[in-house]
Amino acid sequence: MTAETAEMSAAARALGGHRVLDPPGVLPQAARRLDATPAIGPDEVRLSVQRLNLDAASFRQLSESCGGDGDAVRAAVLGIVAERGKMQNPVTGSGGMLIGVVDAVGPRSPLGLAVGQRVATLVSLTLTPLAITDGLARWEGRSEQVPAEGTAVLFARSIAAVLPDDLPDAVSLAVLDVCGAPAATARVVRRAAAHSVVVLGAAGKSGCLSLAAARAAGATELTGLVRDRREAAALSAAGLADRVVAADATDPLAVAAAVGTPAEVTVVCVDAPGAEHGAVLATADGGTVVFFSMATSFAQAALGAEGMAADVTMLIGNGYTPGHAALALDLYRSIPGVRSLIDPRVHA
């Protein structure tokens, strides 16, 4: 083996390439199947899983396709994990994340984790080797949060956060799952020195955190678009937006009418497909749309914007931005309006 090949394989290993079973040559996120064997290599970490957080778009799709039958949703999740060695919804392509206890650390792991620490993975379930051993017996299949037993594996280039002591696990899990959204929003608002921001799906978890992050980053005209009057009342009471409007985010003309003057930045935080065109119409020429939703279609966004001759920059909401976990947890801790919207979803 040449030095160059050895270096390449070490880099691929750090990204989990050695765990890919099918198809060969791709990284774990793009794999159909991973090797979820609990025995770890020298640079890996094994977690004893306690709870999964299915991402909202995936859970909605599974729930709708099973007609709301919890047993069928549980069977579907078990089937996916058994078949794929990871929790990646084949329809939405999305996953979520998990919390667990570190139960083995390879001698060459660079993650700095110690056996016994309780952590949340900050990498997606779509690339995390996962084996479930309890049949998800404690989960009724009716919520995004899934009590679970089993094992998960972190690679050398994975990231994980030690769980904070001052928050319930379920809250940390929910906030950390969407922590990329407020970080991306803050970055875009700051870079553009933007004043006006519209958030679609503003009363949801990532939506309310994005509003709070936009405010903290200097935005002064915040519009929250929500689905209906009930959510409008909750968002108004939370005090996170200057203006609350209600419309179906999947109806582009209704979104445009509700938003009125387009904003410099639009953040898409709905968990349903079909929000691309409304988001483009809600955004001023020269502005930016951040598509955080996993239900976003690249083709609908790109071709829709072209068809509307809309000069907008469109960003894929990368789940990772440096400092994202601390920022989201701090927004949750310090802003009562954020807590008032997230808590009922977590305890529901």
Out of 104, 113, 272, 315, name the contact with ligand NAP by CB under 6 A.
272
- Give the containing element (helix H, strand E) for 226: strand 221-226
- Give the containing element (helix H, strand E) for 29: none
Per the CB < 8 A criterion, the answer to whether 292 and 202 are in contact is: no
Q: Least separation, in Å, of the C-beta of 6 and ligand NAP?
A: 33
Rule CB under 6 A: say whether 295 interacts with ligand NAP. yes
* DSSP calls for 62-104: HHHHTTT-HHHHHHHHHHHHHHHSS---TTT---EEEEEEEEE
- Residue type present at position 95: G
Residue closer to ligand NAP by CB (options 28, 40) is: 28
Rule CB under 6 A: say whether 210 interacts with ligand NAP. no
Supply angle C-alpha 163, 86, 57, rounded to 5: 75
Residue closer to ligand NAP by CB (options 45, 57) is: 57
- Residue type present at position 208: C
Residue closer to ligand NAP by CB (options 106, 274) is: 274
Site string for ligand NAP, 168-207 (x = CB under 6 A): ---------xx-x--------------------x-xxxxx
Please choose, out of 110-118, 211-219, 267-275, 322-330, the segment that lies near ligand NAP by the rule CB under 6 A: 267-275
Q: Least separation, in Å, of the C-beta of 95 and ligand NAP?
A: 9
Rule CB under 6 A: say whether 276 interacts with ligand NAP. no
Tell me the site size for ligand NAP, rule CB under 6 A.
Answer: 30
Rule CB under 6 A: say whether 290 interacts with ligand NAP. no
Residue closer to ligand NAP by CB (options 69, 343) is: 343
Report in angstroms the alpha-carbon separations of 130 from 77, 125, 178, 295, 337: 12, 8, 20, 23, 35
Residue with smallest beta-carbon separation from ligand NAP: 204
Rule CB under 6 A: say whether 319 interacts with ligand NAP. yes
Please choose, out of 41-49, 112-120, 270-278, 331-339, the segment that lies near ligand NAP by the rule CB under 6 A: 270-278
Q: Least separation, in Å, of the C-beta of 226 and ligand NAP?
A: 6
Q: How far apart are CA 2 and CA 231, in angstroms?
A: 60
Q: Least separation, in Å, of the C-beta of 9 and ligand NAP?
A: 28
- Residue type present at position 55: D
CB atoms within 10 A of CB 35: 16
Q: Least separation, in Å, of the C-beta of 289 and ligand NAP?
A: 13
Residue carrying structure tokens 């090797």: 35
* DSSP calls for 151-189: EEEE-TT--EEEPPTTS-HHHHHHHHHTTHHHHHHHHHH
Residues 223-252 close enough to bind ligand NAP by CB under 6 A: 226-227, 231, 248-250
Rule CB under 6 A: say whether 293 interacts with ligand NAP. yes
Residue closer to ligand NAP by CB (options 156, 270) is: 270
Q: How far apart are CA 302 and CA 299, in angstroms?
A: 5
Per the CB < 8 A criterion, the answer to whether 93 and 298 are in contact is: no
Q: Least separation, in Å, of the C-beta of 167 and ligand NAP?
A: 17
Burial 119-139 (b: 16+ CB within 10 A, else e): bbbbbbbbbbbbbbeeebeeb
| Interface contacts to ligand NAP, rule CB under 6 A | 55-57, 94, 177-178, 180, 201, 203-207, 226-227, 231, 248-250, 269-272, 292-295, 317, 319, 345
